[in-house]
């Protein structure tokens, strides 16, 4: 029989984005009981909408106008996004995961809610030996959060350069979320080039009623969570997670006094690289114990496809307000505020 691996702390990934207020070291061992391979598949299935929703959020909110900033003009902005989890991503079927030693208990459902699924306990599972014999170990698939929107945030500063180019930096230094919640940091960079001034003289450019630009960006969230699961000195238990997003967009906009509507089409991709690192020791229940080293690894592309956005910018003196809607694999909305000088 494969010895049970109790994977407790991954629920913290939900908390770190402000989704629910529970302890990151909360014991979810009763919810995930399997060998490392099965635990990875269950974690992957449960958090799939988090990966995808966060992925589209990483690529969102870069620009709300095609007009580039004037030389050395700048602004800083803060915005938040919410990705809508589709119905098909609110639950999963363990029978479709290819698990080795977990099956639904007799008469139980094989369906469980994902992290952003319904707030109800999933099907009752039973652990089996490597020979296919049932054991007396049972657990229920974990509850969802009861709502279906994945939040993310963007903090950025933009500076105008020569040749109708502006560059944007996204950054957040490592922030400790609490003694049990680990730390979170963000880094990203992007650029936008306004096209018409490159190909037209000033007079000819004025004959075109809109501004047109191309833009791209990269954003990374990094999360680290120290763990203490049946810990011993030198075990170095922790979660190390990276979430990356890349986007390219073509943007068209039109300034009308203080109001600038825009539309864009583009491509986005995102990936997750999450590991549970360190040495973990568990009692097998028969007087012995089993050790696992670096037992969980998730490395995958979550989002890879086209997107289209509609939105606006409102400018009142130094202050700006933004809003947009993006149609993609996970549709989303974005809203934010900014402060700056110049267009």
Condensed to tens digits (0 to 9), the pLDDT of residues 61-98 reads: 999 999 999 999 999 999 999 999 999 999 999 999 99
Q: What pLDDT, on a 0 to 100 scale, did the predictor assign at position 140?
A: 86
Q: What's the confidence (pLDDT) of residue 27? A: 36
Q: Give the pLDDT mean for 246-275.
A: 95
pLDDT tens for residues 201-238? 766 567 789 999 999 999 999 988 787 766 666 678 88
Collapsing DSSP states into helix, strand and coil, what is residue 203? helix
Domain ranges, ordered by start, for the chain = 5-341
Partner residues linked to 102 by β-bridges: 127
pLDDT, tens digit (0-9, with 9 covering 90-100), for 267-302 = 999 999 988 888 877 655 555 566 778 888 889 999
235 compared with 170, residue with greater pLDDT: 170
Q: How far is CA 276 from the centre of its chain?
A: 18
What's phi and psi for 14, nearest 5 deg?
Answer: -70, -45
Indicate the pLDDT class of residue 23, thresholds 50, 70 and 90.
very low
- Residue 178's nearest CA partner among 291, 13, 342, 16 is 16
pTM as predicted: 0.83
pLDDT on residue 180: 62
326, β-bridge pairs: 309, 332
- Which secondary-structure segment (H or E) carries 58? helix 36-58
Share of the chain above pLDDT 70, in %: 82
Range 31-54 average pLDDT: 79
Q: Any idea which residue has 């990934």 for tokens?
A: 13
DSSP 287-309: S-EEEEES-EEEEEEEEEEEEEE
């Amino acid at each position: 029989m494969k010895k049970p691996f109790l994977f407790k702390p991954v629920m913290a990934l939900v908390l770190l984005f402000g989704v629910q207020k529970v302890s990151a070291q909360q014991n979810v061992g009763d919810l995930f009981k399997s060998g490392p391979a099965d635990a990875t598949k269950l974690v992957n299935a449960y958090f799939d909408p988090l990966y995808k929703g966060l992925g589209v959020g990483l690529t969102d909110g870069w620009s709300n106008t095609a007009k580039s900033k004037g030389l050395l003009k700048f602004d800083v902005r803060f915005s938040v996004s919410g990705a809508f989890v589709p119905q098909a991503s609110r639950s999963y079927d363990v029978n479709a995961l290819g698990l080795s030693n977990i099956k639904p208990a007799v008469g139980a459902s094989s369906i469980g809610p994902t992290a952003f699924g319904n707030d109800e306990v999933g099907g009752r599972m039973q652990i089996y030996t490597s020979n296919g014999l049932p054991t007396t170990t049972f657990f229920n698939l974990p509850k969802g959060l009861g709502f279906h929107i994945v939040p993310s945030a963007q903090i950025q500063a933009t500076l105008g350069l020569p040749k109708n180019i502006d560059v944007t930096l996204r950054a957040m230094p490592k922030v400790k979320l609490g003694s049990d919640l680990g730390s979170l940091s963000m880094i990203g960079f992007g650029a936008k080039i306004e096209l018409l001034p490159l190909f037209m003289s000033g007079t000819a450019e004025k004959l075109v009623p809109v501004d047109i630009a191309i833009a791209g960006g990269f954003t990374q969230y990094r999360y680290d969570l120290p763990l203490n699961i049946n810990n011993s000195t030198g075990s170095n238990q922790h979660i190390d997670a990276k979430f990356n997003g890349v986007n390219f967009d073509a943007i068209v906009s039109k300034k009308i006094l203080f109001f600038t509507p825009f539309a864009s089409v583009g491509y986005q991709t995102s990936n997750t690289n999450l590991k549970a690192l360190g040495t973990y020791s568990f009692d097998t229940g028969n007087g012995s114990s089993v050790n696992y080293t670096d037992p969980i690894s998730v490395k995958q592309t979550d989002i890879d496809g086209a997107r289209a956005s509609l939105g606006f910018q409102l400018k009142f003196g130094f202050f700006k307000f933004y809003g947009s809607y993006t149609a993609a694999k996970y549709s989303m909305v974005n809203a934010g505020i900014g402060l700056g000088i110049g267009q």
